[in-house]
Amino acid sequence: MPANASPNSSSDSKSGPSPDAAGMSTMQETLGQLTAFLQLQHIAIQDHQDTQLQQQRALLQVSSALADLSAHVHSLQSQPSCPGPAVATPESRMSTLAGLAPPPLYDGDSKSCRGFITQCRLLLRLQAAHLPDEETAVAYIITRLTGRALDWVTPLVERRDPICLSVPAFLDRLQTVFQGETGRRASSLRLLSLRQGNRSVSDYAIEFRTLASHAPEPLWTHTCSNGETRPRPSTHAMLPA
């Protein structure tokens, strides 16, 4: 030791931490931080792996379901087709009644009024499945009107008259307007003047019964004292055997 060295120099050098101790402490702190970071990364990687595993399982389930569905479809396609029970459509139902023609167009002629109404009632009864309500049925009848009959019904349709919602009411009004009392009386007069002439008995009988069905009953029948309805004497001789 030099002669002029201070006696305290040795103690001063021993009072502070040595460079090796300070560096060791810093390294330990850094190592602890790295360890914690690596643990967090490990946890994150583990969570990611678990998520991937779940996704893989779900994907396998979907693939299996698709494979089963594809096999089922293939088996159905390979089976021979067996026609099921035929479903009756409106078109097929109409085709089964192809022999039943629609009523001819009615132009308001009193002579053909009753026949037109009869045909309408028959057709509506047979085609009830295709006519969901009475308004539709009346609309169908209106499509078969022309001439004076169409002129008569047009205002009723335009003002939505309630009579267009009921088939019986509409047909009754139609008969009243175009046949009415005048038409029935005309049939009665023709009935009273009817003669067989050169016709066969069957032709004469057909016309007689036709006119009689149009004529009002009181005009060609009378009620006896016992309540029985018989032909009037003036028409009795005309009745076909």
> Which residue is associated with the tokens 């019964």?
209
CB 132 within 8 A of CB 165: no
Q: Which has more pLDDT, 239 or 203?
A: 203
Of 178, 204, 219, the position where a domain reaches its end is: 178
User: Could you tell me if residue 120 is inside a domain?
Assistant: yes
Q: How much is the mean pLDDT over the chain? A: 73
Nearest by Cα to 144 from 153, 135, 134, 131: 153
Q: Do 126 and 187 belong to one domain?
A: no
Q: Do 161 and 194 belong to one domain?
A: no
3-state SS class at 11: helix
In degrees and rounded to multiples of 5, residue 95 shows phi and psi of -70, -30
What pLDDT, in 10s, does the model give residues 172-192? 999 888 886 555 555 566 666
Say if residue 205 is exposed, middle or buried (CB neighbours under 10 Å; 0-12, 13-18, 19+): middle
User: Could you tell me if residue 166 is inside a domain?
Assistant: yes
The C-alpha R_g of the chain, in whole angstroms, comes to 53
Q: Do 169 and 189 belong to one domain?
A: no
Token pair for 28:
């330990």
What pLDDT, in 10s, does the model give residues 34-89? 888 888 888 888 888 888 888 888 877 877 787 888 777 877 777 666 555 554 44
Q: Do 174 and 231 belong to one domain?
A: no
pLDDT over threshold 60, residue 216: no
CB 116 within 8 A of CB 109: no
**Cβ atoms within 10 A of the Cβ of 177, count?**
15
Confidence at residue 94, expressed as pLDDT on a 0 to 100 scale? 43
User: Could you tell me if residue 24 is inside a domain?
Assistant: no
User: Could you tell me if residue 83 is inside a domain?
Assistant: no
What pLDDT, in 10s, does the model give residues 93-123? 444 444 567 889 999 988 889 899 999 999 8
Nearest by Cα to 238 from 191, 174, 168, 182: 191
Confidence at residue 98, expressed as pLDDT on a 0 to 100 scale? 44
In degrees and rounded to multiples of 5, residue 16 shows phi and psi of -90, 160
CB 163 within 8 A of CB 169: yes
Per DSSP, 145 falls in state: B
Q: Do 189 and 173 belong to one domain?
A: no
Q: Do 149 and 187 belong to one domain?
A: no
Overall number of domains in the chain: 2
Q: Do 106 and 160 belong to one domain?
A: yes
Print the domain residue range for 110: 102-178
Q: Do 114 and 160 belong to one domain?
A: yes
CB 207 within 8 A of CB 194: yes
User: Could you tell me if residue 171 is inside a domain?
Assistant: yes
User: Could you tell me if residue 191 is inside a domain?
Assistant: yes
User: Could you tell me if residue 56 is inside a domain?
Assistant: no
Nearest by Cα to 104 from 135, 141, 139: 141
What pLDDT, in 10s, does the model give residues 115-156? 999 999 998 888 888 888 999 999 999 999 999 999 999 999
CB 191 within 8 A of CB 215: yes
User: Could you tell me if residue 86 is inside a domain?
Assistant: no
Start-to-end CA span in the chain (Å): 174
CA dihedral angle for residue 169, residue 170, residue 172, residue 174, rounded to 10 degrees:
160
**Cβ atoms within 10 A of the Cβ of 64, count?**
10
Q: Do 187 and 174 belong to one domain?
A: no
Q: Do 145 and 206 belong to one domain?
A: no
**Given pLDDT bands bounded at 50, 70 and 90, which one contains residue 165?**
very high
Confidence at residue 236, expressed as pLDDT on a 0 to 100 scale? 45
Of 178, 201, 218, the position where a domain reaches its end is: 178
Confidence at residue 96, expressed as pLDDT on a 0 to 100 scale? 42
Q: Do 155 and 221 belong to one domain?
A: no
Q: Do 160 and 137 belong to one domain?
A: yes
What pLDDT, in 10s, does the model give residues 7-33? 554 445 455 556 577 777 888 888 888
In degrees and rounded to multiples of 5, residue 240 shows phi and psi of -70, 150
Of 157, 178, 199, the position where a domain reaches its end is: 178
